Amino acid sequence: MDDLYTLLERAETNSDYRHILERLRWFDGFQCPNCGWDQYYPIKTRGLRECKQCGLQVSPTSGTFLHKARNLRSWVRAILFFLQKDELSSVSIALMFNRSYATAWFMMHKIRFVLGQSLDHVFSTEQREFSCSTMRAALFKASSGDVLMRPAAEVLLEQDADNRADFNFEDFVRLQYFLISMLVVFQGVSRKYSQLYAFEFSLRRDRQFLDPLRLLGCFVRGSPLARSELKQYLAPYMIRL
């Protein structure tokens, strides 16, 4: 595994990054996604592996969260930057990788989504659930144009005493930090995507424990995440922090 850190540090091209993802995906051996066979022929020129039993040609990203991602360099760098920088907006990702704002926005949400799905796998920290109604000041519906312009301090004072009583001190602090972060960094977020931002908040909170290769490994697992899956994302009533 040690040499993978070196490779990651020196990686420049898409094929360098493909090689790293290949190692991460099959670090404990190849398995054909079609028939489960563990023997393959390497097709080095195209960075593929061909199953010796059924002949399926598999790329390191096929069937994973990075399925059909063409620019692996941008993806891997965006994933790593995502956690290294304190505030990383879709605009800065768009400028950094010369992508459109819409593409950058989608990349950021997908990164939040995938890492969020993997939280239990990445952390030992216990996640708690909080009702969205206690966070209404920081979570608004983007479609309604109800953009919150009031200072964070004023909003936080509004958190009613009834809700406070339900939390222990640690929960209360966790919730307040989340609200401040949503208000100060994002000027409030759409409730629909609040869980994704909560995932990001949790990841940043514990980022000193995060291992870059382990995080990248999350992206070469699981099923492909279609654009539609994020579009269908519904506003939650409870969010995990």
Q: Is 51 in the site for Zn ion (CB under 5 A)?
A: yes
Scanning 35-43, 88-96, 166-174, 188-196 for contacts with Zn ion by CB under 5 A, the matching segment is 35-43
Are the C-beta atoms of 20 and 29 separated by less than 8 Å?
Answer: no
* Binds Zn ion by CB under 5 A, chosen from 1, 15, 35, 226: 35
* Tokens found for residue 220: 């070469």
Instruction: Specify the residue, 36 or 151, whose C-beta has the smaller distance to Zn ion.
Output: 36
* Tokens found for residue 183: 């208000």
Scanning 33-41, 163-171, 181-189, 208-216 for contacts with Zn ion by CB under 5 A, the matching segment is 33-41
Instruction: Specify the residue, 46 or 121, whose C-beta has the smaller distance to Zn ion.
Output: 46
Q: Which single residue is written with the structure tokens 């459109």?
A: 100
- Determine if residue 43 is left, alpha or beta; phi over 0 gives left, psi from -120 to 50 gives alpha, anything else beta: beta
The 10 Å Cβ neighbour count of residue 189 is 21
Instruction: Specify the residue, 53 or 187, whose C-beta has the smaller distance to Zn ion.
Output: 53
Q: Is 37 in the site for Zn ion (CB under 5 A)?
A: yes
End-to-end CA distance of the chain: 31
Residues in a beta bridge with 139: 189
Scanning 27-35, 123-131, 143-151, 227-235 for contacts with Zn ion by CB under 5 A, the matching segment is 27-35
Count of residues touching Zn ion (by CB under 5 A): 8
Smallest gap, in angstroms, from Cβ of residue 133 to Zn ion?
50
Round to whole Å and give the CA distance between 94 and 89. Answer: 9
* Tokens found for residue 88: 């990383």
Which residues 124-153 are close enough to bind Zn ion by CB under 5 A?
none
Are the C-beta atoms of 201 and 179 separated by less than 8 Å?
Answer: no
Smallest gap, in angstroms, from Cβ of residue 57 to Zn ion?
10
* Binds Zn ion by CB under 5 A, chosen from 43, 54, 102, 173: 54
Cα of 122 vs its chain's centroid, Å: 12
Scanning 25-33, 110-118, 133-141, 162-170 for contacts with Zn ion by CB under 5 A, the matching segment is 25-33
* Binds Zn ion by CB under 5 A, chosen from 13, 15, 34, 57: 34
Smallest gap, in angstroms, from Cβ of residue 39 to Zn ion?
9
Residues in a beta bridge with 240: 129
Round to whole Å and give the CA distance between 91 and 105. Answer: 8
Provide the binding-site residues for Zn ion, judged by CB under 5 A: 32, 34-35, 37, 51, 53-54, 56
